[in-house]
Structure 1
Amino acid sequence: MKKGTNTRKKLLSDAFKLFSSNSYENVTFSELEKASGVSRGSIVYYFENKNGLFSEMLKTFVFDNSSVKRVPKPYQHSLIAFYNYFIEILKKEKNKLIELGIKNMNEALFFIEMSALLNISDFRAIASKWHEEEKNIWYNIIQNAVSTNEIRKDIDVKSVADLFEKTYLGASFIGVFSIYGVDINVLHTNFDQLYSLLVNETNIK
């Protein structure tokens, strides 16, 4: 069972590397076999076809890795704890991809997302749903921060949630065009600045 799980993970990692620098059409079973050392029969066994492999790779490396859903419940008790943990997730994700030989994770993700938009019929709907779910999580965290008096009560929770989400997405997009991708320390500073404008003054010591 463990061998099968490891093989599946390796296939997804190798597929990510291939799709991050080649269009969907140009990644063949032969290239997948060569990159992974896994036979076509095994690839079909785990994912049925190239579309199945690509879709699962999208879920694993695009939608799951960069998601605020990964922040554990104990870190959702406050806004500052929440975004600090999310920053650590992004740092680990970036380092993991560097180990795979990908120095700019944002460029890789952008390239894959463009391929998905052109080749996966329901990708737009899936991405839209993912984005709404992410915004809702930010909304709930910020609403809780208002309720616990962590941040000011005179804010528009929906707008602030949108600001945090778009700060992250904007930094990720800008990272596509840099050498090493998003500067996570700068993103962290941006979150801190947003937080400083929201924090309840009675909590500042």
Structure 2
Amino acid sequence: MNDTREHILKVSYKLFLQKSYKEVTMKELVENSGLSKGAFYHYFESKEQLFLEVINKSFSDFLVDYSKFSHNSLYEFFHDYIKFIDKRMELFKRNNDCDSVFDLNYFSLIFDACKLIPSFYEKLNATLEDELNAWTAIIKLARDKREIKSPMSDEQIARIFIYTNDASSLQNILKGQEPVLTSSLLQLWKDFYEEIKE
């Protein structure tokens, strides 16, 4: 990607995080980019176009490719997931010159995107469905290999892994902490795993 375009996206992302979509003006976006108005408009003709690209880029930065995780066991799968989160958060912080990955403003940004960009809402739901399918598949495999045993369905177990991640992230954000404290999440998952391990 072009360095100037990348710079505009990075600056705009930070502004959209600080304020809502409606509160950020095109004038602020241009000023904070350090570019002339003409140079800025060469890359983005409107705030809507810029917002869409900011959302798509930030969203794609956090997409998970579950096929890259170990499928030897559920235990290895969730450990790979934790490693992925650690690496992705570190990369995000480094690329965006920030100390934290998410805060409440990140969720506001996502909600703005859901309201303003119908295709994003559909993409988000498809991603959530992919997440559930990936976890359900590895849990089915673990059950078939007699790694785990539980009266709960594969999907119910998958939802416990997913929801503990989501809920602990939100709770940490509300406490002003790093959203995913991977050490505590890993311990929670290991404890749950011990309960269902055959």
Give the TM bin, normalised by the shorter chain.
0.7 to 0.9
Per-residue displacement from partner, 1:121-146 (whole Å, max 9, x unpaired)?
44443332221121111111211222
Worse overlay, 36-45 or 25-34:
36-45
Deviation at 1:8, TM superposition (A): 3.6
Q: TM-score, normalised by structure 2?
A: 0.80
1:148-167 per-position Cα deviation (integer Å, ceiling 9, x unaligned) = 33322754101011111111
Which residue of structure 2 aligns with residue 75 of structure 1? 70
Provide, for residues 79-116 of structure 1, a one-character-per-residue CA deviation record: whole Å limited to 9, x for no partner.
22222222122223333444422535142421211322
Check if 1:196 corresponds to 2:194: yes
Match of 2:126 among 119, 126, 129: 129
Distance (Å, rounded) in 2 between the aligned partners of 1:137 and 1:66? 16
Task: Pick closer, same or farther for the CA change 1:115–1:74 going to 2, 3 Å.
Answer: closer
In the alignment, structure 2 segments of 5+ residues that lack a partner are none
1:20 aligns with 2:22: no
Query: 1:112 is matched with which residue?
Result: 109
Identity level (%)? 25
Q: What is the one-letter code of the residue matched to 2:58?
A: F
Per-residue CA deviation, residues 172-199 of structure 1 (Å, 9 max, x unaligned), is 2112212233222211111111221222
Q: Please say if 1:181 is aligned against 2:178.
A: yes
- Partner Cα separation in structure 1 for residue 111 and residue 127 of structure 2: 16
Question: Do the aligned partners of 2:12 and 2:54 also contact (CA within 8 Å) in 1?
Answer: yes
Q: In structure 1, what is the equivalent of residue 83 of structure 2?
A: 88
Of 46-55 and 166-175, deviating more is 46-55
**Does the residue aligned with 1:152 lie in a helix, a strand or coil?**
coil
2:28 to 31, 36, 39: 31
Preserved contact between residue 105 and residue 181 of structure 1 (Cα < 8 Å): yes
Q: Distance in 2 between matches of 1:44 and 1:147?
A: 56
TM-score normalized with structure 1 length: 0.78
Taking only aligned residues, the RMSD between alpha carbons, in angstroms, comes to: 2.7
In 2: Cα distance, 1:141 partner to 1:30 partner: 49
> CA contact under 8 A between 2:103 and 2:176: conserved in structure 1?
no
Q: Which amino acid aligns with 1:68?
A: V
In structure 1, distance between residues paired with 2:40 and 2:134: 35
Q: Deviations over 1:4-54 (max 9, x none)?
A: 2x3343333222211111110122333223333355556555555322332
- Aligned 8 A contact 1:94 1:105 in 2: no
Equivalenced residue count is 195
Is 1:138 paired with 2:135?
yes
Which of 147, 152, 165 is the equivalent residue of 2:144?
Answer: 147
For residue 47 of structure 2, the aligned residue among 40, 50, 69 is 50
- Between 1:33-42 and 1:150-159, the stretch displaced more is 33-42
Residue type at the aligned position of 1:80? Y
Name whichever of 72-81 and 182-191 sits farther off.
72-81
Output the amino acid matched with 1:105: F
